[in-house]
Amino acid sequence: MSEPRRQRLRSVDRKRQLIGLTLDLIAAQGLQGASMARVAQAAGISETALYRHFRTHRELILAALNETTAILERYFDLPEPDIKKRIHTVSANLYDGIMADSLESRLIFEFLRAPGKENLQAPMQERFQAMIRTLEELLDKGISAGQFRPDIDKTRIAWEIFAFGFTLHFVNLLGFEKHLTKKRALKSLDEILNKISI
């Protein structure tokens, strides 16, 4: 009796699978652990098949970076019209998400510590700058809604809020959750928001 044939994945599903496997390898073994050969082996396909989906290792790594930052950007997708509440809720959800699973934190730091030859600085700047712009837009909406003072330095405040979120990754990776509890973290955020509120 012959073995049943494995069903071939659609191209979009295979790409999603390959990105997921790449993220797993990066989180477990660092960027160097996510070679084309290792990703192909983890997927149970040949390297040639992998190259049909991603022409270069850089293309695969950038797709993995995009997925990592997309995970972080999803925290901003809240329908809350009250901007102050929205920033607070996003931050609370971010705290819960980061503390529940260190994968995102490990991935971010693996991308940050990538060797210069990987040339990831510009793509990372672009993605982080997009998050800063999102925060600036939220602050603009808060100003328009009369929640925040119109004279605030939106860029500086956006960076303060971004730094708050980034700090949570350190807290998670180093096991400092008992020192920077959710209550303390959100109190710090509220202090930022209160100093710019009307």
Q: What is the spatial distance between Cα 188 and Cα 99, in angstroms, rounded to a whole number? A: 17
- Per the CB < 8 A criterion, the answer to whether 49 and 74 are in contact is no
The CATH number assigned to the domain with range 11-55 reads 1.10.10.60
Is the pTM for the entire model greater than 0.95?
no
Higher-confidence position of 141 and 3: 141
- pLDDT, tens digit, for every residue of 16-74? 999 999 999 999 999 999 999 999 999 999 999 999 999 999 999 999 999 999 988 88
Q: pLDDT digits over 151-186, tens only?
A: 999 999 999 999 999 999 999 999 999 999 999 999
Question: For the residues of 148-170, what is the DSSP string, one character each?
Answer: B-TTS-HHHHHHHHHHHHHHHHH
Residues in CB range of 73: below 8 A, 6 or more apart: 130, 131, 134
Which residue from 31, 83, 82, 79 is spatially nearest to 57, judged by alpha carbons? 31
Angle between helices 154-174 and 121-144 (to 10 degrees): 120
Domain 65-196 -> CATH class: mainly alpha
Two tokens, residue 29: 């073994």
Arithmetic mean of pLDDT over the chain: 93
- pLDDT tens per residue across span 121-151: 999 999 999 999 999 999 999 999 999 999 9
Position 7 confidence tier, pLDDT thresholds 50, 70, 90: low
Domain ranges of the chain: 11-55, 65-196
